[in-house]
Amino acid sequence: MITNQRYEKIMDYLKEKGTGSVNDLVDITHSSAATVRRDLTHLESKGLLKRVHGGATVEQMEREEDYTEKSVKNLSKKIKIAQMASELIEDGDTVFIDAGTTTYEMMPFIKASDVIVVTNSITLIDQLVRNGHGTHVLGGRIKPATKAVVGHDVIEKLKTLSFDKCFIGVNAIDINHSFTTPDEDEAYIKRTAVEQARRSFVLADSSKFGRSAFVKFAELEDASIITEDPDHPFLVKVRTRTEITGGESNDLYSDV
């Protein structure tokens, strides 16, 4: 196998698995351990991976995407997740719904009555009002990329409120960094909403698993994950730390 093919094989493996031992990489490249170690040194010098004892790891740092860009990605998964999330809202609940493309898909599925919704998303307002829900919009600066209202005033207002449930969007989830997002302003809002809610739910399709973004806003133990793929290998590793909602039966379960 030529050098560039080995590099590609190694990077594809690490992106899928997150980490790999030298022995793993020897097997997939059909090369010697010495050759693999040289390859890892080269790839690390390019900033593509991090050498660890006995192998290498890739921590994929999520960048902030434009709202329109995000809205068309994994749409069918987002709709399924949004429907499951909406079914958790009960008559008379007061809930916080975060800005995000997955939370946006919750709007047509909220069937509970006498619901009060607090949000920092300008994209949710029209449907919430049209569907007759009590709607409160937090005031502050509008962030164009995500259509979220952010700023000090949003945080201070959130601290005066309490919620039965909150529904939070996320950019990335991994074992070491838990729930993360690229933007510090939005991270503060998500963190405060989780603190003010009796129960917190993070909406995440499987593309978010095993990745990390710039700012952590909550630990895995702080919220339940709603996903379309509850049997994903990543979730097997974290079931002792968080509850998971998903699958055909929409069961909420935990191994704690």
> Model confidence over 201-211: pLDDT tens digits?
999 999 999 88
pLDDT value for 64: 59
pLDDT computed for residue 19 by the predictor: 82
| pLDDT given at position 253 | 36
The reported pLDDT for the residue numbered 12 is 83
- pLDDT band for 48, please (50, 70, 90 cuts): confident
pLDDT band at 145 (very low <50, low <70, confident <90, very high): confident
Helix (H) or strand (E) holding 137: strand 134-137
Tell me which of 50-54, 59-63, 64-68 is least confident: 59-63
pLDDT of residue 256: 27
Q: How confident is the model at residue 60 (pLDDT cuts 50, 70, 90)?
A: low
Lowest mean pLDDT among 39-48, 58-67, 157-166, 220-229: 58-67
User: Quick count: other Cβ atoms within 10 Å of Cβ 113?
Assistant: 11
What value does the mean pLDDT of the chain take? 89
The arithmetic mean of pLDDT across residues 89-109, rounded, is: 97
Radius of gyration of the chain (CA): 20
Predicted TM-score of the model (pTM):
0.73
Given this model, what pLDDT does residue 249 score? 39
Q: For 204-254, what is each residue's pLDDT tens digit?
A: 999 999 888 888 999 999 999 999 999 999 999 999 999 998 865 344 433
- Which is it for the CA torsion 186, 191, 193, 199, positive or negative? positive
Region for residue 82 given its phi and psi (left: phi exceeds 0; alpha: psi -120 to 50; beta: otherwise):
alpha
Confidence at residue 49, expressed as pLDDT on a 0 to 100 scale: 79
Q: Rounded to an integer, what distance in angstroms lies between the CA atom of residue 189 and that of residue 227?
A: 22
Query: In CATH, which of 3.30.70.1350, 1.10.533.10, 1.10.10.10, 1.10.645.10 is domain 3-57?
Result: 1.10.10.10
Q: Is the pLDDT of residue 154 over 70?
A: yes
Alpha helices in the chain (DSSP H): 3-17, 22-29, 33-45, 67-71, 75-86, 101-104, 125-130, 152-158, 184-196, 233-238
Residue 50 pLDDT more than 50?
A: yes
d(CA 48, CA 32): 21
Compute how many other C-beta atoms are within 10 angstroms of the C-beta atom of residue 5: 10
% of the chain with per-residue pLDDT over 90: 69
pLDDT of 85 over the 80 cut: yes
Q: Find out if CATH 3.40.50.1360 is the number for domain 67-253.
A: yes
For range 71-92, the mean pLDDT: 91
Are 130 and 108 spatial neighbours (Cβ–Cβ below 8 Å)?
no
> Cβ neighbours of residue 140 under 8 Å, at least 6 residues apart?
120, 149, 150, 151, 152, 153, 154
The helix (run of H) or strand (run of E) holding residue 52 is strand 50-52
Name the segment(s) of the chain with CATH classification 3.40.50.1360.
67-253
* Start-end of CATH 1.10.10.10 domains in the chain: 3-57
